[in-house]
A and B are shown apart, each in its own frame.
Chain A
Amino acid sequence: SLRLGRSSEKIYNFMDAQYFGEISVGNPPQNFSVIFDTGSADLWVPSSYCVSHACALHRRFKAFESHSFHHDGRTFGIHYGSGHLLGVMGRDTVKIGQLVTLNQEFGESVYEPGSTFVTAKFDGVLGLAYQSLAEILGNPVFDNMIAHKIVDEPVFSFYLSRRTKTSTPEGELLLGGIDEALYTGPINWLPVSAKGYWQIKMESVAVQGVSSFCPRGCQAIVDTGTSLIGGPTNEILILQQLIGATPTNIGEFLIDCGRLSSLPHVTFILGGKEYTLTSEHYVRKEMFGNRDLCFSGFQAIDIVSPEGPLWILGDVFLTEYYSIFDRGHDRVGLARA
């Protein structure tokens, strides 16, 4: 970040990411699974030169096998939990579905320390936020798609399903438009308040109909790379108390699975419209041995922005609401999924 003359830094949390899709890089194409992350703006995949244990377990980009690869020479670094992912930058053809972007800047990670990525099911990350969040110099993927008119409309939209693997689709990213079959009712459009993340104004957060948090308004980001709903520590801790969640020694919050039907609704007010989550929505169930564990879908995350502390509307929210990201009008649309 110092090299780029900026004071900003994004630290990535890959611990809870669940949804990913396939892309290819190079010619002939080399396939990778990536998280499509509206909370970051870089594309990176592991490099064949990476010798970290995590890289050995993932698909790695072989630049020397691609006829369209251009070496850049600059390095990049992305901070995550326990370390610092390091890599080199390059340009090559990136294909997402049938959409082809030539000379796309991307990162090849050559060092992935720690054990975070060892168990990851994905190889890399494709960021869909605004360019101001990018660590890698050059246009983010969707910016290039817009610039080269690869998509009809400068819009992409997400459908994320909570259903199990037996049902399809588990999720869908539509690049260049909106899939009207995947939502009901009108779309509520919310203007982007700061172009970095997909940041919007949130009017308030209510618990069981009583306005409890950010009564004078606050800021939220719509982030497909985050699993839970995040908010400022002080407020989230109170919210955990209100839903009867108990902290564990590793900072998670457990809820008695037998009490779900009696837990309060949590409502987010966005653009004058209420977005209500019941406990069935905001509690995550996980099998542990032969029993269910219930975890709170809220987490404390202190992110500072010039507009104030940020709330993060992650997958827990986005599985209930179809989300549309409109770069043409710098707005986010939400509709019942």
Chain B
Amino acid sequence: AMDRVPLRRVPSIRSQLRAQGLLEDFMKDHSPDMFNRRYAQCYPPGTP
């Protein structure tokens, strides 16, 4: 009752967009959102 799951490492979405020259436009197009602000926010249960 134990199992190994092999994990693969691939270029991130950011890396692929950068390689395609699309990252800057992507960031601008998705404003205002977490990508432009470079963070995610979470308000866990119990947070006023």
Interface contact B45-A8, CB-CB below 8 Å = yes
Interface residues contributed by chain B, number (CB under 8 Å)? 41
Interface contact B44-A171, CB-CB below 8 Å = no
Which residues between 16 and 48 of chain B lie within 8 Å of chain A, taking CB atoms?
16-19, 23-24, 26-30, 33-47
Q: Which residues of A are in contact with B by a Cβ distance under 8 Å?
A: 6-22, 33, 36, 80-82, 96-99, 114-116, 119-121, 132-133, 149-153, 160-161, 165, 168-177, 179, 194, 196-197, 227, 230, 233, 249-252, 286-288, 299-306
Interface contact B43-A20, CB-CB below 8 Å = no
**Which interface residue of B9, B17, B43 has the most chain A CB atoms within 10 A?**
B9
**A-B residue pairs in contact (CB < 8 Å), sample of 15:** A8-B42, A11-B41, A15-B12, A17-B12, A19-B8, A33-B8, A97-B5, A99-B3, A151-B2, A171-B8, A174-B4, A197-B44, A301-B39, A303-B41, A305-B44
Interface contact A8-B13, CB-CB below 8 Å = no
The 3 nearest A-B residue pairs measured at CB: A171-B7, A97-B3, A176-B2
The secondary-structure label for the interface of chain B is: mixed
- Chain B residues with Cβ under 8 A from A196's Cβ? 44-45
Which one of B14, B39, B44 lies within 8 Å of A230 (CB-CB)?
Answer: B39
The secondary-structure label for the interface of chain A is: loop
Bound form: Cα–Cα A36–B43 in Å: 22
- Chain B residues with Cβ under 8 A from A194's Cβ? 44
**Which interface residue of B7, B18, B24, B47 has the most chain A CB atoms within 10 A?**
B7
Q: How far is the CB of A136 from chain B (nearest CB, A)?
A: 15
Which one of B5, B9, B12 lies within 8 Å of A36 (CB-CB)?
Answer: B5
Q: How far is the CB of A310 from chain B (nearest CB, A)?
A: 8
**Which interface residue of B13, B30, B43 has the most chain A CB atoms within 10 A?**
B13
Interface contact B13-A15, CB-CB below 8 Å = yes
